[in-house]
Each structure stands twice: as structure tokens, then as C-alpha cells.
Amino acid sequence: MTSTDTEQTIPQANDILICPVCQQPLPELAGATDKHGSARSRGCANGHSFDRARQGYFNLLLVNQKRSLNPGDNIEMVRARQQFLNGGYYQAIADAINTALIPVLADRANTSASQTLHIADSGCGEGYYTASLAQQLTANHIHHHLYGIDISRDAVRTACQRSKQIDWLVASGSRLPFQPGSLDAILSVFTPTMADRWAELLKPEAPVWLVTPAQQHLQELRQHIYTDVRSDSYDPTDDMIKQGFERVGSSEHSSQVFIPAAALPDLLTMTPHGWRITAEKRQQVLALNGLELTISVRISQFSAHSSNDQPAPAENI
């Protein structure tokens, strides 16, 4: 981060980012742009400015927002996830996400005053699902600005390799750096629910999609690891409703995929199960000739409250 009082900002309707220091708008700064036409710096009226990293992302995570030196997934986990996902083993999940999102986003774009949607992938990791969504948005002629946000700098650096057309940001999921009421949609894949923050940032009736493990997800792997195999399923409905969201619906998507032996180390490294497995169990899994796995997720859609919604009156005491 650098500070400047002399550079001028370029006011644009598409600038919805805020400064992580003072929460003022953070538009692009006037000056040279890169070969993709993107400004190399952003700055606020209070003189806080942020330079784009050479890989193509903005780091908007302040030191006092970190609980460790390098929060989030480390480079080993990121590389394992990148290699595994590049193998296509989770392609069915990406397809299910796009099938759920694209029709809704197309309708929203058609009714939007600007017809340009601002969409955030909160907890984007190394960008696999973000880039897949971007391709489908473009293919369906949906004008958009897509933001991939993760607290892991290693993950975002890697995500930059997937697309230069996505706005990649290092930031905390609990402090997403957007102006209130500026987002048209939020996607969250296998990441913690931040419903209270999302409620502030979304436009009225904007959709949120949460992708969570269903009951049978990776059950064959878990049977190799645990004596007592429990469900990985998580239902975010209660957390979302408490923050004023309306549940629109949910669907489960399951498929079978064969994971060859060469991909098993990456699978263990990228999942929480790899943290919990004993050395003996790890050796047993890695000795397999491959593993037929169940891939099963739930995609839950919620809607932000309407602008006409009013808070309930306080009870008389």
C-alpha cells in the first residue's frame, strides 16, 4: 500500500470497491494502464492507495485483519487443489453451479438499470469455479464485473493465472471491500457463511448461492480415513434467515468419478480430511490403485431482503 495526495481518481459507475482503511470509495487512479486496459492503482479521497500486484490482483487485506502471517490456504494446498481441479474431477460441480446461476443472472441483467451485474465469488480459492462462471456469463452475453475474493494471497496469485478479465482481490470474507447495496449476486463455494456482511452489500432481492457438501460427498474417502464416518452435510438456512434472507430453494447434485492413484495425494492435501488423517491411514489411501468417489453437493439459493421490507417494530416494555 502507498499513499498519495496528488494523483486524481477516475470516477466510474463500475467502481464499487471501498478502501479497507477508511471505507471510502476506491476508484481507479488516473495514469498508465496495463495491456488489458486496467489501471495499475486504486485510491480513495483520503490518500490511501493500492497498487496492483504484477500477477494482476489487488491486496486489500490489512495487517490488522490477519490472524497469522499468511492466512488461508498455503501454497501447498493451493497447488494441490489447482492440479486436482485441472484434472476435471469436480467438473460436475462447476456445471451444476453454472446451470443454477446463469438463468437467474440473465433475468436479473435484463431487468437491471445498467444491465451490468456486479457478482462476487466470496472465498474463490484458486479460481476454478470463478473462471468457469465467467466463461458462461460471457457465452450467454451477460454483461458483468466478476470479483474473486479470498483471504489467501497464494490462492489469489494462482487464480490470476486462470483469467485476466476477473477482478481478483485478497481480502477478508468478513470484510468484503464493497460499497453497501452494490452487489447483484454472491457465490460461496465450500466456504464459511458470512450472512451478516452479505446482507449489507447486496442490492434488494439480489440472490446468494451457497454450495455446501451433501451427505454422501466423498463418502468412500471418508470410509478409508475414519472409524466413525459422519455426514459432511451442512444446511446454511438458519444462519441466512437470521440475517433477513429468504430461502428460495435448494437442489442436490451427485455423480461418481474415478480418482486415479496419481491424484490421491492432491485430494488429501486439498481437503480438511488431509489434516485429520493419521500417518497409517494416509499410507493406506496412497497405496490404492485409485478410488471411485461420490461427488455430492447442495446448491442453496437465498434472496436478500426487499427494499420495501421494514424492520419489525420494537415491542413495548
Structural domains for the chain? 1-52 (no CATH), 75-303 (3.40.50.150)
- Do 228 and 206 contact (CB within 8 A), yes or no? no
Nearby residues of 162 by Cβ (< 8 Å), 6 or more positions away: 126, 127, 128, 130, 131
pLDDT confidence of residue 29: 85
- Does the pLDDT at position 2 exceed 70? no
Q: With CA atoms as reference, report the closest residue to 253 among 286, 221, 296.
A: 296
Q: With CA atoms as reference, report the closest residue to 179 among 223, 118, 97.
A: 118
Of all residues in the chain, the percent with pLDDT exceeding 90 is 74
pLDDT range class, residue 104, cuts 50, 70, 90 = very high
For 123, phi then psi, to 5°, come to 80, 50
- Does the pLDDT at position 310 exceed 60? no
- Does the pLDDT at position 9 exceed 50? no
For 246, phi then psi, to 5°, come to -100, 135
For the residues 166-189, what does the mean pLDDT come to? 95
For the residues 184-201, what does the mean pLDDT come to? 94
- Do 173 and 149 contact (CB within 8 A), yes or no? yes
Q: Looking at per-residue confidence, does 235 or 35 come out higher?
A: 235
For the residues 221-225, what does the mean pLDDT come to? 94
Strands, E assignment, 171-284: 185-189, 207-213, 246-260
pLDDT confidence of residue 275: 86
Alpha carbon distance 149, 178 (integer Å): 11
For the residues 140-155, what does the mean pLDDT come to? 96
For the chain, what is the mean pLDDT?
88
Q: What is the pLDDT of residues 264-307, one digit of tens each?
A: 999 999 998 888 899 999 999 999 999 999 999 999 999 998 76
